[in-house]
Amino acid sequence: QAVARGIVYVPEDRGKQGAITAMPIFQNVTLPSLGRTSRSGFLNLAEEFALARTYSERLDLRAAALDQPVGELSGGNQQKVVIAKWLATRPKVIILDEPTKGIDVGSKAAVHAFMAELAAEGLSVIMVSSEIPEILGMSDRVIVMREGRIAAEFDREGLTPEKLVRAAAGYKESAA
C-alpha cells in the first residue's frame, strides 16, 4: 500500500532486507516495478535492462555488468542498487534508514549528493541517521526521537551538535 501511494523505504541492512544478493543487479532494480517491465505476465528482458540501466547510470553504479550478482559488489554499490530499486518505482517520498552506514567516504559523498539532487527535484527525502555530521550537513529540518516520541524539532538555522546531543539525551534547553 505504501509503495502504491508513492512511499518507499531503503532499510539500514541492505544485505538482508534491501537486496537479494544472489540475484543480478538488473533483477534487484526492477523487482518492485515488474508491472512496468512485463506484458500479460511475461517479463520483457530488454525493458528490465533498460530500466536498470537508467537508474544505475543515474546513481553512478560501479559494476562489471547489470547481470552481476549484487553480493559481488562493494557495500556502497549495493546501497546504490537498493536506492535505484526504489527510485525506479517513481516515489513521492523516500525514507533512507542509515543510508551511508558501512560504505566508503567516496560512496558516502555520492549518496549525499544524490539525496540533495532528489530533494531539489521535489522528492521528499526522510533520512534516519545516528551520525551527527551527516544530520547537520544534510538536513533542512531535524526531528529528534527519544523512546518512540518526538523529543525536539529543529530548523537548520542555529542547529548545533550540542543542541542535538542534549535533545537526544533528554536534557531540556536551559533558559539563558
pLDDT, tens digit, 9 for 90 and up, residues 64-81: 999 999 999 988 889 889
Q: Could you tell me the pLDDT band of residue 170, with boundaries at 50, 70 and 90?
A: confident
Return the sign of the alpha-carbon dihedral for residues 55, 59, 63, 69: negative
Q: Could you tell me the pLDDT band of residue 174, with boundaries at 50, 70 and 90?
A: low
The domains located in the chain, with CATH, are 7-130 (3.40.50.300), 140-176 (no CATH)
Cell of 109: 559523498
| Residue 24 pLDDT exceeds 70 | yes
**Mean pLDDT confidence for 162-176:** 81
Angle at 93 between CA 89 and CA 97, to 5 degrees: 95
- Note the pTM of the prediction, 2 decimals: 0.85
